[in-house]
Chains A and B, each alone.
Chain A
Amino acid sequence: MLTQEEIHQIEHEISLVPHKKAACIEALKVVQQHRGWVSDEDLKATAAILDMTPDELDSVATFYNLIFRRPVGRHVILLCDSISCWVMGYEGLREHLMQKLSIKYGETTPDGRFTLLPNVCLGTCDCAPALMVGGDLYQNVSPEQLDEILSKYN
């Protein structure tokens, strides 16, 4: 069940575009903003508002890597694995994160605190390696700094 607030926000997005389906990515963003991810049940409810079949909406949802169709932790870590960060040694950050959090890419810590995902170039290549935690950007990161960064997120 979507909340009244979610439905209201989705209907607002629909009012901004020429036809309902065109608001579907915005609608998915609304649901994810409130719930952290988009469950099958939420997807069905959202599709109904948009006059789409759930499969149709899922084909869009699963195309975009930042729409989460599986539960994620409270803070999603996006680690840049593209070329400049690779040259500057992002692999050290990857190993440190996986060891420290005892998770692999795509996994969430048992306490639901962090999900670790690789991400394409974050567009800050002069400050590589870089990562984002919960939408915050960190640049020129060394493995030693990671512990302090992570401690900011509960």
Chain B
Amino acid sequence: MEKPLTQHIVPGRSPLSLKEYEKVGGYQSVRKVLKEMTPAEVQTLVKNSNLRGRGGAGFNTGLKWSFVPMGDNVPRPKYLVANADEMEPGTFKDRLLLEGNPHQLIEGMIVASYAIQADISYVFLRFAYKLAAQEITKAINEAYEAGYLGKNILGSGYSLEMHLHTGVGRYMCGEETALLNALEGKRANPRAKPPFPQVSGLYGKPTIVNNVETLCCLPHIVNNGAEWFKGLSRNKSEDAGTKLYGVSGKVNKPGCWELPMGVTVRELLEEYAGGMKNDYKFRGALPGGASTDFLVEEHLDVKMDYNSVAAVGSRMGTGTMIVLDDQTCPVGFVQNLQHFFAQESCGFCTPCREGLPWVEKVLSSIDSGTGKQADMNILDFHTKYLGPGNTFCALAPGAMEPLQSALKYFREDFERHIHEQRCPWRS
């Protein structure tokens, strides 16, 4: 089984230095694109590889790039940003790539930057990833010294600057337009789209924001081709490549693994996460972070790829699954999620700012045994009212995904809290 993204990552060991990375084929894709390919060819290759954004939205990466204005008479500088602001609760996949092989990310960023002819690139890294910050700083310095960054890279005439920006908190920064505001030294409120960042992004210039895992796929696509990448997935998945999947919760071996796109929920849970811990039973899971709908037992054979998870009413999201077990209260579980979303709302648009705290309070009241039957209507109402189309960005609609699916699959548990005026899991 091929594991291109994690083949040189050994947990607990320092990442490869630039020299070591070059020995195992590192930076070959940079040489190849600079010497043998036009930016348009790189864009076409990546579009044909069917690489989809690994941050959760799943948009075709090459297609995303294709909206960047190209040619001589376009606004400059153009920017490429690696979104390393991994803050979706339950998500810990990019940390592995950032700490484990920073040169792979830098290599991918150079390929992406060349494809859109970016002049300046940033790694936007969250505060908590201290080790990653050290490793990336070291790797960027090495890449400058070796001539992979800076002016006239490898004599190609192409130049690229790269900087590391470390954040100071707030989940909103992971949303690409909010991230750009944060980079500009503003509050991380999202921006209206259109204009899309590809046309008017950082400082109003054409900008691409790509997730870390997405960027790490690029060197391998350039080296091995689009067909190879499409062939990595399994179970007749419509999606291409490998994926970093994770499992957390009451399982025997929580962790993160690079596996072919299209493994099933059951394989992930049983073969890789080692099944549920003794005495715990599986009740459901959020397949890809806090802002995805629950999957339950009937979905265990669903393939973990974008289209298959979407077909059963959820989203693959980040591919890192959070398991709900039978000894954990589903109301408390959802209350914890809504507390997070209410706290992290940027406060810019009214439904999100006012609605999420209300949802959180109603859930707290049900959870603590003082809920009323009418509270169920309030929750149902909010799943619609804070849903897609009613808010400025995707934060509140994302928050409603676990709530609406919990109300569908675990409704009896909510009702029981109200009827018995207590949490059956606590007392």
Task: Name A61-101 residues within 8 Å CB distance of B.
Answer: 63-67, 78, 81-84, 86-88
Asked if B91 and A121 make an inter-chain contact with CB atoms under 8 angstroms apart, the answer reads yes
Query: How near does chain A come to B188, taking the closest CB pair, in angstroms?
Result: 7
B130 near A121 with CB under 8 A, answer no
Please report which residues of chain B, range 344-376, place their CB below 8 angstroms from some CB of chain A when the two chains form the complex: 344, 346
**In the assembled complex, which residues on chain A have CB atoms less than 8 Å from the CB atom of B324?**
87
Per-residue interface assignment for chain A, residues 1 to 41, with 1 indicating a CB less than 8 Å from any chain B CB and 0 otherwise: 00000000000000011100111111011000000000000
Bound complex: CA A25 to CA B186 (Å): 8
- The docked-state distance in angstroms from the alpha carbon of A22 to that of B129 is 23
Q: Are A125 and B90 in contact (CB under 8 A)?
A: yes
Chain B residues within an 8 Å CB radius of A24: 185
The answer to whether A59 and B187 touch across the interface, beta carbons within 8 angstroms, is yes
Given A23-B185, A66-B168, A126-B247: A84 and B89 within 8 A (CB)?
yes
Asked whether B293 is an interface residue with its Cβ less than 8 Å from the other chain, the reply is no
Whose C-beta in chain A lies nearest to the C-beta of B327?
A: A87
Task: Report the bound CA distance from A33 to B87 in whole Å.
Answer: 23
Q: For the complex, what is the distance from the CA of A21 to the CA of B126, rounded to whole Å?
A: 21
| Stretch in contact with the other chain, from B30-38, B232-240, B248-256 | B248-256
Contact of B126 among A28, A88, A123 (CB under 8 A): A123
CA distance A24 to B188 in the complex (A): 13
Q: How many residues of B contact A (CB 8 A)?
A: 54
A64 to B127, CA, bound (A): 11
User: Is B263 part of the contact surface with A, judged by Cβ < 8 Å?
Assistant: no
Q: How many A-B residue pairs have CB under 8 A?
A: 128
- Answer whether A22 and B185 are a contact pair too, CB < 8 Å, given A87-B333, A126-B248: yes
- Note all chain B residues with C-beta closer than 8 A to A82: 89-90, 290, 336, 340
Q: CA–CA, A78 to B249, complex, Å? A: 20
| A128 interface residue (CB < 8 Å to B) | yes
Residues of B115-132 whose CB lies within 8 A of A: 126-131
Q: Which of chain A's residues 95-154 have a Cβ closer than 8 Å to chain B?
A: 119-128, 132, 135-137
* Contact for A121 among B90, B168, B184, CB less than 8 A: B90
Judge whether A60 is part of the interface by a CB distance below 8 angstroms: yes
| B128 → chain A closest CB, angstroms | 5
Q: How near does chain B come to A80, taking the closest CB pair, in angstroms?
A: 9
- Residues on A with C-beta less than 8 A from B168 are 25, 28-29, 64-67
* In the assembled complex, B88 has its CB within 8 A of some CB on chain A: yes
Q: Which of chain A's residues has its CB closest to B166's CB? A: A29
Q: Mark A43-66, 1 if CB is under 8 A from B, else 0.
A: 000000000000000011001111
Encode contact with A along B14-56: 1 for CB under 8 Å, 0 otherwise.
0000000000000000000000000000000000000000000
Determine the distance from Cα of A23 to Cα of B163 in the docked complex, in whole angstroms. 14
Among A21, A24, A126, the most chain B Cβ lie within 10 Å of the Cβ of A126
Chain A residues with CB under 8 Å of B286's CB are 83
User: Which B residue sits closest to A121, measured CB to CB?
Assistant: B89
Residues of A within 8 A of B337 (CB): 83
- Look across to chain B and name the residue whose beta carbon is closest to the beta carbon of A128: B248
| Alpha-carbon distance A64/B188, docked complex (angstroms) | 9
What are 7 A-B interface contacts by the 8 Å CB criterion?
A17-B185, A64-B169, A87-B324, A87-B333, A120-B344, A121-B90, A128-B254
Across the A-B interface, give the 6 residue pairs with the lowest CB-CB distance, nearest first: A125-B248, A126-B254, A82-B89, A66-B169, A121-B89, A65-B169
